[in-house]
Amino acid sequence: MLKDHLLNNVFFDTCVYHQPDIDLLTRMIPVQHSVRQRDDRRGRGIDPETGHYFGDTKCYVEAASIEPEARYKIYEGNVRCIYPRLDAALKAKGR
């Protein structure tokens, strides 16, 4: 099926800065195809409505209705699959 072939070659970054967008991403895209690769402080200013840095997506991923294993995949597990040399280097350091 085309969608399966496509999804096996694509990862979606969680660099959307709005809770409804993260919720949509986690509902529509299988968690094994999502990664969070942003620095929490990438946005220099603080959003006065949320108190978080504008570039912080962690607060949105944390608030999403997903299982802890899904969060692990988004934060670290999928990145280790995408970058096997990084995974090997971290494993060599006991991480």
Digit-coded pLDDT (tens) for 2-53:
666 777 777 788 777 788 988 998 888 888 888 876 655 555 788 888 888 8
2 in a domain, yes or no? no
> pTM to 2 decimals?
0.74
Number of domains in the chain: 1
CA distance 82 to 11: 9
Q: Are strands 34-35 and 12-13 parallel, antiparallel or unpaired?
A: parallel
4 in a domain, yes or no? no
Q: Which of 9-18, 25-34, 62-71, 79-88 has the lowest mean pLDDT?
A: 9-18
Range of the domain at 61: 11-92
51 in a domain, yes or no? yes
